[in-house]
Chain A
Amino acid sequence: MAKIKLAKSKVDTLVEICKSFNNEGSELINVLHKAQETFGYLPAEVQEIIARELNVAVAHVYGVVTFYSFFSMVPKGEFPISICMGTACYVRGAEKVLEEFKRQLDVPVGETTEDGKFSISCLRCVGACGLAPVVTIGERVYGRVAAGDVADIIKEYQS
């Protein structure tokens, strides 16, 4: 396996996160959530360290990271676009909205545009079902989004 380079402070933070979950292998998903919250994404190095600390196989960690769409292995864009795929949003057409973002930005889910500006990810229910379908960009929340609104939303950030 490849050698891993990671700043000592980052390693320490990860070790702390794992410790806060008692280094339990069964807490893997929670540890990954916390790590992603802290680092913004989950690069291979981070997964290796988590695997070591929780004493689980790296392949398993990678399996979990790739199974859930809310985990990402690439850094988020300057404006991270998140589309809710919870039940309410889904039935009200979130998928069409997602497709439109993907088409206009020419980037798949979980990845970032070449200029580093936008990234697309999917979320579980964000608890604003009344506004479904919901899209968030950074701290801002957009409700009742339709595919037709996508171009205008993107324009807001392109100056």
Chain B
Amino acid sequence: MVLVWRNVSLMRLAFSKEDLKMEKMIKLTIDNKQIEVPHGTTIYEAAKELGIEIPTLCYMHLGDMGIEHKPGGCRICVVEVEGRRNLAPSCNSKCEEGMVIHTHNMRVLNARKTVMELMLSDHPFDCLVCAKSGNCDLQTMAHQFGVRELHYKGEQSTYKVDYSPSIIRDMDKCIMCRRCETMCNDVQTVGALSAVNRGFESVVAPAFEMDLEKSTCTYCGQCVAVCPTGALTEKDHTNQLIRDLADPKKTVVVQTAPAVRAALGEEFGMEAGTLVTGKMVSALRRLGFNSVFDTDFAADLTIMEEGTELLERLQKHLDGDKDVKLPILTSCCPGWVNFFEHHFPDMKDIPSTARSPQQMFGPIAKTYLADKMGVKREDMIVVSIMPCLAKKYECQRDEFKVDGDPDVNYSISTRELANLIKQANMDLTTLPEEDFDNPLGESTGAGVIFGATGGVIEAAARTAYEVYTGKTLEKVDFDALRGMEGIRSATVDFDGLPINIGIAHGLGNARKLLEDIRDGKSQYHAIEIMACPGGCIGGGGQPLHHGDSSILKKRAAALYREDEGKAIRKSHENPYIIKLYEEFLGKPCSELSHKLLHTHYFDKSNEIEIE
């Protein structure tokens, strides 16, 4: 497994281009085509260079994130190397001078099919009812290889299905590709999953084969996003939603997160990065929601609260108050919140106390909006559409309930919404464009960019700058805060006061920044952290990218496009936010704001009790 972030891998690329002249190139023949590749290239990569796609299952290469996983375990990618007795796994075999390779001859096809049949001999026949059906790499490949009957019968491993608030683990469907482990351990550095036992008994599981809920899992869902089978799926809330929408006594309102509109279209065959905001709104309206609102509105609200908190802390710090801790960390990502509660509980007083936008929307809907609509709290159902699996867990947190009633009843992933739209016999591509409802549907460009890494802190900078300096920003785009490198930093000039900003996405990168803070080495005033690589556009509930990480960049670009097209691009200028403060909350960080829009954190580290 190799793990390098993009900036590092780019450096490497630059190096290897230099080296090319000196380093010897290797000539080989693949499917009768000649190719020259640098030393160290794998057969799989060389074939790809020639436009030959060799099927893979356990191999995973997310180039833009610098994630490579090649355990060489599944043997689906075998090819014939002339002169060698055994077929070679192309994903982890290096090219050698003069090799003559066949990637799809009859011997290879036969072997691949046998490998697949063996794999399927220990796999349940659940395709008809499996959540992954139609989107499962194992199923697609079995079909592609023409498997029509199974010649091998063997013992089938059976495990208890593990239902957590966000993720379902059905290990009967695990093919031991171990991609999830790489995501959890190497990318996220959470370490909730490990391969355990050996041989036939081996499986990927949390420590002591306990349920995920009892582990250090953050519910970021990155394991689910890369699992090629139905072994890891999200906890599905669509049936609950269908029941609620069918209930005439209930007022069902919905909020949609920024990242959803940049990815939903992919499920309907649209090009990655197509914005489907208006079509999504009309789909939701046709599904029967009473009102269709925007989490972006709540994102603007988050900026008001978090931005005010940042300025307060900054001011106290500048005034020499030693009790005030900096940097302030963003707190809008529940995966990240789970991470520091489990892994850095000693630092739980530095993140902002502002709730995530999802959890700001809920209480405003069930108080302010319910009042306006004349609906009783118990008759209102608030549903959220999220790119995220951690949000499912977040809805259930006790501190976000009033007398047992959750502020947000449940959250549906982008994938679940796509399925529901298809179930309702709608084709997103042909739907008209419609606008969100008000008062909780109006948002600024600042709210939209929350979905991409760096977006939250850019939105905060736009507002904090103007509030702090009293001046109007000439240019609202902070280009230095954008990009895909895992850790980024920039200094923003607040009219003579330099504000150092850090950004991390992916929990492994977050860990590095946190360790620096713990060691007193951090120079930052504010840090944005998102659990998922790329931010929410790469969330665990988004359409599967099947290994093509360039999709994430296209989604991010789409959000910045939407921002640019907005008339209002600063949260504090959102007229409905201004009205909400005037009519209801008073001012940012007021007593009522604190009650409804802020939260506190818990120490969830493992407590060892000594007798």
Q: Which residues of A contact B (CB under 8 A)?
A: 1-8, 11, 44-45, 47-49, 52, 56-63, 66-67, 69
Cβ B207 vs Cβ A3 within 8 A = no
A52 vs B191: C-alpha distance when bound (angstroms): 12
**Which applies to chain A's interface (DSSP): helix, strand, loop or mixed?**
helix
Contacts of A11 in B (CB 8 A): 608, 610
Interchain CA distance A63-B215 in the complex, whole Å: 14
Q: Which residues of B contact A56 (CB under 8 A)?
A: 191
Residue contact A57 to B609, C-beta cutoff 8 Å: no
A118 to chain B, nearest CB (A): 22
**A5 near B611 (CB under 8 angstroms)?**
yes
| Besides the known contacts A1-B606, A44-B207, 8 further A-B residue pairs in the complex with CB atoms under 8 A apart | A3-B608, A11-B608, A45-B608, A59-B196, A59-B206, A62-B209, A66-B197, A66-B198
The chain B residue sitting closest to A12, CB to CB, is B610
Task: Say yes or no: A57 contacts B208, CB within 8 Å.
Answer: no
* CB atoms of B208 and A62 under 8 A apart: yes
On whether the beta carbons of B207 and A61 are closer than 8 Å, the reply is yes
- Tell whether A7 pairs with B611 under 8 Å between CB atoms, given A62-B196, A66-B197: yes
User: Would you mind naming 10 contact pairs between A and B with Cβ atoms under 8 Å apart?
Assistant: A1-B215, A4-B606, A7-B611, A8-B611, A48-B608, A56-B191, A57-B185, A57-B191, A58-B208, A62-B207
**B-side contacts of A60, CB under 8 Å:** 185, 191, 194
Assess the A59–B191 pair: CB atoms within 8 A: yes
B315 → chain A, closest Cβ, in Å? 37
- CB <8 Å contact, B607 and A4: yes
Give bound CA distance, A57 to B181, whole Å: 12
Check: B225 CB closer than 8 A to any chain A CB. no
**Beta-carbon contact of B192 and A57 below 8 Å:** yes
Indicate if B270 sits at the interface (CB-CB under 8 A).
Answer: no
Q: Which 7 A-B pairs have the closest CB atoms?
A: A57-B191, A63-B194, A59-B194, A58-B207, A59-B207, A1-B606, A66-B196
Report if A67-B191 is in contact (Cβ < 8 Å); known contacts: A44-B208, A49-B608. no
Q: Which residues of A contact B190 (CB under 8 A)?
A: 57
Residues of A within 8 A of B610 (CB): 5-8, 11
Contact (Cβ within 8 A) A3 B198: no
Min CB distance, A126 to chain B, in Å? 21
A18 to chain B, nearest CB (A): 14
What size tier do the contact residues of chain B reach? 20 to 34
Give the contacting residue for A59; candidates B192, B608, B609, B611; CB below 8 A.
Answer: B192
Contacting pair A57 B608 (CB below 8 A)? no
| B386 interface hit (Cβ, 8 Å) | no
When distances are taken between beta carbons in the complex, the residues of chain A under 8 Å from B191 are: 56-60
A4 touches B196 (CB 8 A): no
A63 touches B609 (CB 8 A): no
**Separation of A15 and B608 alpha carbons in the complex (Å):** 13
CB nearest neighbor in A for B199? A67
* Also in contact, A4 and B608, with CB within 8 A (given A60-B191, A63-B196): yes
Q: Decide: A67 and B606 in contact? CB cutoff 8 A.
A: no
A138 to B193, CA, bound (A): 36
Across the interface, A5 reaches (CB within 8 A) one of B195, B197, B216, B609, namely B609
The B134-165 residues at the A interface (CB cut-off 8 A) are none
Q: Does B205 contact A (CB under 8 A)?
A: yes
- Residue B214 at the A interface, CB < 8 A? yes
Q: Output the least CB separation between A141 and chain B (Å).
A: 27
Choose one: A45, A57, A63, A69; the contact of B216 (CB below 8 Å). Answer: A57
Residues of B within 8 Å of A61, CB to CB, are 207
User: In whole angstroms, what is the CA distance A61 to B191 when docked?
Assistant: 10
- For B202, give the chain A residue with the smallest CB separation: A67
CA distance in complex: A109, B537 (Å): 48
Chain B residues whose C-beta falls within 8 Å of the C-beta of A48 in the assembled complex: 606, 608
- Contact: A4 with B194, CB < 8 Å? no
Query: Considering the chains assembled together, what is the distance between the CA atoms of A69 and B208 in angstroms?
Result: 16
Taking CB atoms, residues of chain A closer than 8 Å to B196 are 59, 62-63, 66-67
Q: Give the contacting residue for B193; candidates A6, A52, A59; CB below 8 A.
A: A59
Give Cα A2–Cα B205 distance, bound, in whole angstroms.
17
A61 nearest in chain B by CB position? B207
Residue of B nearest to A43 (CB): B208
Alpha-carbon distance A1/B342, docked complex (angstroms): 10
Expressed in whole angstroms, the minimum distance between the Cβ of B514 and any Cβ of chain A is: 14
Give Cα A73–Cα B337 distance, bound, in whole angstroms: 33
Instruction: Tell me, rounded to whole Å, the shortest Cβ–Cβ distance linking B585 to chain A.
Output: 38
Task: Quote the shortest CB–CB distance from B204 to chain A (angstroms).
Answer: 9
State the CA gap A66–B195 with chains docked (Å). 9
